[in-house]
């Protein structure tokens, strides 16, 4: 069977079963997945082991850990899953991976993977973060705990699981795949544009209908999914004040009694930081940034109101450990801000003595780890320029702004075929969906949605995980309630269904 025949047969099958049981009436009838389901069950243990093994090899760009080993491992994962071609793509930073799976299909789908993970502090974990131990979570099911479990190796392994199962079931994929993967997502993808811009990668992606990053999208209580029509951009940087660069204050730490006559780098950092936001830290006041913010459209407000109505404020607050939103705003207002406003966040502050007790030093240096979230119509480079100009205008010419990575916001239209395919696949699983204008978190989708590719791009994936960037990161592999919240096999089946939706829609 060629893919086209296959697809036609499946569409016929779907039509035969009738739209009532298959809303919307695209893709395969659920019953027609029996062989895939069987293959997924048979491959379950291997898939879990694949995830555990991958977790054992953490690539962390900020610590220059496991490069290029992580890229080589990713390349092999792709080849094992059926990609006919896979190659390492060098960049100015860490290498990426490019792979293609030609199924002889009419359409091609792009996949965006990351093989790097966030830093971790083993002592903060209830189970060793590189072991990928399987734990029982009452009411939820069996989870794998480890760094990268949900961000992003679990969802990515789910996709690989689906591809292995399709192969085992002797099926051709309904779409061709182009995989592009980077190893610097967690440092804000400073070189990903080089990888995507490589001629063979750009040419392959140009043929695709859009790009998907695998995701674990479900609510653990309801199974509901929020589909984000975009994501904020991110800009990560350090602001550094040093006596060395300033020409004032001490070059190194000196006795603190000298503060009476010697300028202080930490105080200068405090002043420079203060100039960036309103006194409550909640409104960005960098010159020219407020004017760049595109107000929410009426449709975006409508989507937010629907999201507010369908989602639980209490759950969200409990999960975050937060008892009040800023300015004691309502749930809907908090969701508006989450989608609409740019932010300047202090990730970390470091100056002088940081050990127990005190130490009477006037520090020679002070550093703030800062990240900005960007909304349309902000861009990375323009934001960097505006920040620099803002500081310079206030006499902070000496305050270093060391950008480590970043990219602008990404957007994909509500009526894009890729969005419709997502909605269809979620609905067929039985997951309620909500459209939300813009994820407050970031991913470098703009590399795909921006010029020159101008492709739709979004997240897709059933299943559940938690603890990204935190201790005790988990990914659900066996759901206690698999018809509501997908375990790894159900999520892989959902991905297969999604591929058929992509093949069928638009």
Site for a second copy in 26-55 (CB under 8 A): none
Tokens standing for residue 124? 């903060």
In the set 8, 38, 49, 255, which binds a second copy (CB under 8 A)? 255
Site for a second copy in 168-187 (CB under 8 A): 187
CB contact at 8 A, 213 and 133: no
In the block, residue with structure tokens 């006037």: 362
Q: Rounded to an integer, what distance in angstroms lies between the CA atom of residue 160 and that of residue 112?
A: 13
In the set 104, 128, 348, 430, which binds a second copy (CB under 8 A)? 348
Q: How many residues of this chain interact with a second copy, rule: CB under 8 A? A: 92
Is the CB of 343 or the CB of 433 nearer to a second copy? 343
Minimal distance, residue 472 CB to a second copy, in Å: 11
What sign does the dihedral 299-302-306-308 (CA atoms) show?
positive
Q: Rounded to an integer, what distance in angstroms lies between the CA atom of residue 380 and that of residue 408?
A: 5
Contacts of 424 (CB under 8 A, 6+ apart): 24, 26, 27, 501, 505
Site for a second copy in 116-155 (CB under 8 A): 118-119
Q: Is 362 in the site for a second copy (CB under 8 A)?
A: yes
Q: Rounded to an integer, what distance in angstroms lies between the CA atom of residue 131 and that of residue 122?
A: 11
Site for a second copy in 458-497 (CB under 8 A): 468-470
Contacts of 329 (CB under 8 A, 6+ apart): 337
In the set 134, 198, 285, 341, which binds a second copy (CB under 8 A)? 341
In the set 138, 139, 356, 451, which binds a second copy (CB under 8 A)? 356
Minimal distance, residue 198 CB to a second copy, in Å: 25
Is the CB of 81 or the CB of 235 nearer to a second copy? 235
The binding track of 186-225 with respect to a second copy, each residue x by CB under 8 A or -, is: -xx-------------------------------------
Whose CA is closest to 186, among 269, 118, 133, 110? 118
Phi then psi dihedrals of residue 467, to 5 deg: 85, 20
CB contact at 8 A, 362 and 254: yes
Minimal distance, residue 246 CB to a second copy, in Å: 9
Q: Is 343 in the site for a second copy (CB under 8 A)?
A: yes
Minimal distance, residue 491 CB to a second copy, in Å: 22
What is the layout of strands, in order, in the sheet containing 457-460?
A: 85-89, 96-101, 176-182, 108-114, 211-214, 457-460
The binding track of 275-314 with respect to a second copy, each residue x by CB under 8 A or -, is: --x-xxxx--------------------------------
SS3 125: coil
Q: Is 366 in the site for a second copy (CB under 8 A)?
A: yes
Q: Is 330 in the site for a second copy (CB under 8 A)?
A: no
Q: Is 401 in the site for a second copy (CB under 8 A)?
A: no
The binding track of 76-115 with respect to a second copy, each residue x by CB under 8 A or -, is: ----------------------------------------
Minimal distance, residue 474 CB to a second copy, in Å: 15
In the set 202, 254, 293, 384, which binds a second copy (CB under 8 A)? 254
Minimal distance, residue 14 CB to a second copy, in Å: 38
Is the CB of 193 or the CB of 369 nearer to a second copy? 369
In the set 19, 46, 309, 322, which binds a second copy (CB under 8 A)? 322
In the block, residue with structure tokens 């938690």: 466
In the set 252, 294, 305, 430, which binds a second copy (CB under 8 A)? 252
Minimal distance, residue 309 CB to a second copy, in Å: 17
Q: b/e string for 376-415 if b means 16 or more Cβ within 10 A?
A: bebbbeebbebbbebbeeeebebbeeebbbbbbbbbbeee
Continuous H helices in 169-295: 192-197, 199-206, 243-246, 265-274, 289-292
* CA triple 293-341-467, angle to 5 deg: 140
Stretch that binds a second copy, among 139-147, 217-225, 251-259, 410-418 (CB under 8 A): 251-259
Minimal distance, residue 337 CB to a second copy, in Å: 5
Name the CA dihedral angle for 458, 162, 103, 83, rounded to a multiple of 10 degrees: 90
């Amino acid at each position: 069977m060629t893919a086209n025949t296959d697809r036609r047969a499946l569409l016929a099958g779907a039509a035969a079963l009738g739209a009532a049981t298959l809303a919307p009436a695209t893709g395969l009838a659920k019953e027609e997945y029996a062989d895939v389901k069987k293959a997924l069950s048979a491959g379950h243990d291997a898939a879990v082991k694949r995830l555990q093994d991958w977790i054992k090899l953490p690539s962390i760009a900020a610590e220059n850990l496991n490069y290029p080993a992580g890229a080589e491992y990713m390349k092999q994962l792709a080849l094992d899953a059926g990609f006919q071609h896979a190659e390492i793509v060098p960049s100015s930073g860490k290498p990426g991976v490019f792979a293609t799976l030609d199924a002889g299909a009419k359409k091609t789908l792009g996949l965006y993977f990351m093989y790097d993970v966030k830093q971790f502090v083993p002592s903060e974990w209830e189970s060793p973060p590189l072991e990928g131990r399987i734990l029982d979570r009452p009411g939820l099911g069996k989870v794998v705990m480890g760094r990268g479990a949900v961000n992003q190796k679990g969802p990515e392994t789910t996709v690989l699981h689906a591809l292995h199962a399709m192969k085992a079931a002797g099926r051709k994929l309904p779409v061709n795949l182009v995989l592009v993967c980077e190893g610097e997502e967690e440092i804000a993808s400073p070189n990903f544009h080089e990888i995507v811009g490589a001629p063979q990668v750009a040419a392959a992606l140009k043929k695709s209908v859009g790009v998907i990053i695998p995701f674990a999208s479900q609510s653990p209580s309801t199974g509901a999914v929020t589909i984000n029509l975009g994501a904020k951009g991110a800009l990560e940087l350090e602001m550094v004040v040093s006596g060395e660069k300033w020409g004032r204050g001490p070059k190194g730490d000196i006795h603190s009694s000298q503060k009476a006559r010697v300028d202080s780098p930490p105080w200068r950092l405090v002043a420079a930081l203060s100039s960036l936001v309103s006194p409550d830290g909640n409104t960005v006041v960098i010159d020219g940034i407020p004017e760049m913010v595109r107000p929410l459209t009426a449709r975006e407000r409508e989507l937010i109101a629907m999201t507010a109505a369908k989602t639980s404020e209490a759950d969200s607050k409990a999960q975050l450990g937060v008892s009040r939103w800023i300015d004691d705003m309502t749930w809907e207002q908090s969701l508006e801000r989450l989608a609409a406003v740019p932010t300047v966040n202090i990730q970390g502050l470091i100056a002088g003595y940081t050990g127990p007790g005190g130490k009477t030093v006037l520090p020679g240096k002070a550093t703030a780890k800062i990240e900005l979230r960007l909304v349309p119509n902000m861009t990375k480079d323009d934001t960097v320029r505006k920040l620099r100009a803002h500081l310079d205008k206030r006499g902070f010419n000496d305050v270093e702004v060391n950008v480590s990575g970043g990219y602008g916001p990404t957007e994909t239209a509500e009526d894009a075929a890729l969005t419709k395919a997502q909605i269809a696949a979620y609905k067929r699983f039985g997951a309620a969906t909500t459209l939300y204008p813009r994820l407050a978190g970031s991913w470098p989708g703009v590399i795909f949605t921006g010029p020159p590719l101008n492709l739709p791009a979004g997240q897709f994936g059933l299943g559940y995980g938690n603890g990204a960037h935190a201790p005790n990161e988990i990914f659900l592999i066996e759901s206690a309630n698999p018809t509501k919240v997908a375990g790894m096999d159900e999520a892989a089946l959902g991905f297969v269904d999604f591929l058929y939706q992509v093949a069928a829609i638009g």
